Amino acid sequence: MADSRSAALFRRACRSLVGGVNSPVRAFKAVGGFPVFMESGKGAYLKDADGRRYIDYCLSWGPLILGHAREEIIAAAQRALKKGSTFGAATEMEVALAEALKAALPSLELLRLTSSGTEAVMSAIRLARAHTGRDWVIKFAGCYHGHVDSLLVQAGSGATTLGTPDSAGVPRAWAATTLNLPYNDLQACRRAFSKYGGKIAAVIVEPVAGNMGVVAPAPGFLQGLRELTRAHKALLIFDEVITGFRLCYGGAQSLFNIRPDLTCLGKIVGGGLPLAAYGGSRKIMERVAPLGPVYQAGTLSGNPVAVAAGLACLKLLKEENPYPRMEQLIMHLVQGLREEAEKAGSAVQLHSVGSMFTLFFCPSSISDYSSAQRCDRAAYGRFFNAMLRQGVYLPPAQLEAAFLSSAHDSADLTLTLRAARRAFEPA
């Protein structure tokens, strides 16, 4: 494929774009080879620059829960665009979207729209610090919350030590305000609060981890975080950029019946366009400007085209309720992949929650980032490329979530499992 149009485009991109891409994982370094350049998408399928079609299980990293180019969403965005692409002023549509989000997630009494999940998280962290008068934040290893400086940290030398920078350009003093603990380890969190409770402003967590592959919360883990933060007067922040409207109409907080203090949303709420939000109780959110002293602003926040797409997406999800069918399909897919792996003698773990799933090339169980690190990434890379050659597009990295959309059907799954049978065969 070295003479393909994708290869030529990548060589051209490398002359102008950093690494030839606008987001690192798109460079395919984790799976080998060069990135596939996509030209269009429809339903469950992508088409690349060379005209090849793929069943898509990446779905733009989660936003496209209704599949590519859903007609109602495209039409809503087009109607909005004809009236103007951006105004930098208030519109009725953004009020309607805020009302729809509030109705779906009762924890959102007031909210603010932003353009990206990173912005939403950054703003929620700033707000939590202002509200509590404390500086430190607990996050969990393997949970990614956007490229917020103070959250780009790796674990220190012990379970409750302060973080050190995981990216060049992040001052150590900023990373040192973050405690990086093992996901699903409530005892480590208890120890951290016992030692540093008066300094901790918030705990931020992906309620279902999606950035170390799909890892579900252990029984009692989320509830324990809620109790701990409440007892120590810290805030609980749910990063539902991935899980919001992905697991059910609402978010993981609806599924697990836990009310966080602040919630960050993104991906699905924009219907495939750049849009995100953060919100929480009125008491906390009234600290945000112009009502309070916590400053946050954005020229394209509440962009009318993105808002229109988001509203159309939420309306369709509410009317069609595709969640039970998607969950049935993904259970069939996961079971089929497990059977094909067993036939080939491949040691894998398959995790799924709702319409999210991950195929881990690992012989032992996975519950946190440390156990996920034991995966055979080279084996995943070989499997990924074998599937790609057969027209199945998976996330180009082992420790990333894959997704199903309402546009996928049983025929797509049959083709996927047929491709997996060949991909699992020894080289």
- Taking the CB of residue 218, how many other CB atoms lie within 10 A of it? 14
**Which pair of structure tokens corresponds to residue 317?**
């999800």
Tell me whether residue 369 is one of the annotated catalytic residues. Answer: no
Residues 179, 153 contacting (CB under 8 angstroms): no
Catalytic residue among 56, 239, 368, 412: 239
Q: 306 to each of 109, 268, 350, how far by Cα in Å? A: 22, 11, 34
Catalytic residue among 267, 278, 368, 393: 267
Nearest CA to 186 out of 364, 354, 368, 400 is that of 368
**Which pair of structure tokens corresponds to residue 333?**
């897919």
Nearest CA to 63 out of 261, 230, 271, 239 is that of 271
The one-character DSSP state at 68 is: B
The answer for residues whose C-beta is within 8 angstroms of residue 68's C-beta and 6 or more apart is 40, 41, 42, 43, 44, 45, 46, 56, 59, 407
* Strand pairing class (392-393; 53-56): parallel
The 3-state DSSP class for residue 56 equals strand
The sign of the CA dihedral 413, 415, 418, 420 is negative
Tell me whether residue 412 is one of the annotated catalytic residues. Answer: no
Q: 92 to each of 200, 296, 297, how far by Cα in Å? A: 38, 21, 19
Say how far apart CA 62 and CA 228 lie, in whole Å: 30
Say how far apart CA 155 and CA 230 lie, in whole Å: 25
- Taking the CB of residue 163, how many other CB atoms lie within 10 A of it? 27
The answer for residues whose C-beta is within 8 angstroms of residue 127's C-beta and 6 or more apart is 262, 278, 284, 285, 287, 288, 294, 296
Tell me whether residue 45 is one of the annotated catalytic residues. Answer: no
The answer for residues whose C-beta is within 8 angstroms of residue 208's C-beta and 6 or more apart is 214, 215, 216, 217, 242, 243, 247, 252, 353, 354, 356
Catalytic residue among 144, 323, 380, 393: 144
> What's the one-letter identity of residue 422?
R
Q: Which residues are catalytic?
A: 144, 239, 267
